[in-house]
Structure 1
Amino acid sequence: MKKYRNLMWACLASLAIPAGAQDADNNIRGMVVDKWGHPVYGASVMVKGMPETRVETDKDGKFSIEASAGQQLNIVSVDKGMTTVKA
């Protein structure tokens, strides 16, 4: 349970990006990192309840997904588990 909480805080911290993180087309950009701040490659990011809007993080842990502010994002990694954050 502790590792999931650490991943959640790391994801929340990485998604707390200043202005410009959401563009006019409702694209949310972010970065998924582990508790040590290392990027998580290949994590699945999807809008909760909309599995068809799924993307994967790149080698730097970065992603961009179409979502509206306030929607929840599920982030799943084989090594790190799953967490949910708000867009």
Structure 2
Amino acid sequence: MRSRYTAFALHDTEYLRASWHPSTRPAEVDLDPDLVWRRLLIVERVGGGPFDREGVVEFEAFWREGDERGSLRERSRFVRDDSRWLYLDGRIG
């Protein structure tokens, strides 16, 4: 999750696509160049350990765009593919 947050902050769309599970990966990732990600807070983690095949991460990511500030809270599902964790999907809320 932290590496994907960093990729969003750096606008690294190649990494975002590469870390997305093929079954849910979009054809392209379009990021707002004016949106600045400021901080990531991990709220909860379920599974995702060295012997798990699945994991869930709930996080809140704080952003700024001009004078506006806000946050995005999501509960994300990940699956292990060999030794890599891939983002499957998430529920915003």
Bigger CA radius of gyration? 2
| Larger RCO: 1 or 2 (CA < 8 Å, sep 6+) | 1
Structure-2-length-normalised TM-score: 0.31
Structure-1-length-normalised TM-score: 0.32
Question: Quick check: which one's strand share is greater?
Answer: 2
